[in-house]
Amino acid sequence: MMKKEMLLVIVSFFLISITAITGVYAFEENTKVIAISEEEVDITGDGQNESIFLKGVPYQEENSFLKKIYIEVAASNGKTYTFPLESGSKASLQLTDLNNDGIKDLFASVLTGGSGGNVLNFLYSLKDFVHTELTIPEPLEMDTKFLNGYKAEMKLKQTGKSYLFNLKDRKKYYKKLGFYYKGKLNEPTELSVNPFNSLSPIQFENKKMGLKGYQRVTGVANADTIALVKSVWRYEKGHWKLLSADVKQERTH
């Protein structure tokens, strides 16, 4: 009797395992992979082109949000290389030599899909068929605060420069929200500093490549843009060097 019960348990476990494996296989078969872009470029340095695909997997059949995004490279040596990215609503891929070693790199941008319009960026190299993840610049750090008299102050940590913003064009809006009372700030409040809203390749006069980034600085709401900060970067000796940082105040009208 015990042997018969043990046999039934083993058979049941076997059937459950087979069902689970079949289910996983069916899921993988039904997973819809979409091709976002395709290019033929030499990114290894051997003089032969690779087939480079940017691919994504939607959450649902008609859903524009991609739960999985990745780069797939069919290299000239017969091997396939995969570079994982993050999920997002949109993705783009540019092939350009950002570390200035003479070989084009893989620079990908993924729009997160949030209300802030932020992007995630990725930089990879496949020089000499070596799968390498390169760094990208960190967003600029800023100390910010609102001041009495409908003003705001911001200091860039990387440069030490400070900026003063006159916000009287938003006076009615801020008073309506109860943010200020008779020109005085109700409580100490910082501005919101976004990470990169965009980061894109830029070519310098010497034909070398770098990156140009933009960050939004907002006030009481995400739509309340107070300043736009532009930064320019160049890759030197394995690190990104900040070449310039410019701040432009945004007016409401």
- Comparing 20-34, 110-124, 152-166, 221-235, the range with the smallest average pLDDT is 20-34
Report the pLDDT averaged over residues 2-10.
Answer: 44
Vertex 87: Cα angle to 86 and 92 (nearest 5): 75
- Comparing 6-15, 55-64, 152-161, the range with the smallest average pLDDT is 6-15
241, β-bridge pairs: 234
Residue from 57, 62, 63, 59 nearest 32 by CA = 57
Q: Quick: pLDDT tens for 168-206.
A: 999 999 999 999 999 999 999 999 999 999 999 999 988
Answer with the residue of higher pLDDT: 93 or 31: 93
User: Which residues, 6 or more positions from 126, have their beta carbon under 8 angstroms from its beta carbon?
Assistant: 43, 44, 50, 73, 75, 81, 106, 132
Instruction: Assign 116 a pLDDT band (cuts: 50, 70, 90).
Output: low
Q: Which domains does the chain have, with CATH numbers?
A: 34-134 (2.40.128.460), 142-249 (no CATH)
pLDDT-above-90 percentage for the chain: 77
Instruction: Please determine, for residue 253, whether its predicted confidence score (pLDDT) is greater than 90.
Output: no
Is residue 151 within 8 Å of 171, Cβ to Cβ? no
Is residue 54 within 8 Å of 66, Cβ to Cβ? no
Is residue 169 within 8 Å of 152, Cβ to Cβ? no
Q: What per-residue confidence (pLDDT) applies to 115?
A: 66
Q: What per-residue confidence (pLDDT) applies to 24?
A: 36
Instruction: Please determine, for residue 160, whether its predicted confidence score (pLDDT) is greater than 60.
Output: yes
The tokens describing 152, both together, are 């705001």
Q: Quick: pLDDT tens for 70-111.
A: 999 999 999 999 999 999 999 999 999 999 999 999 999 999
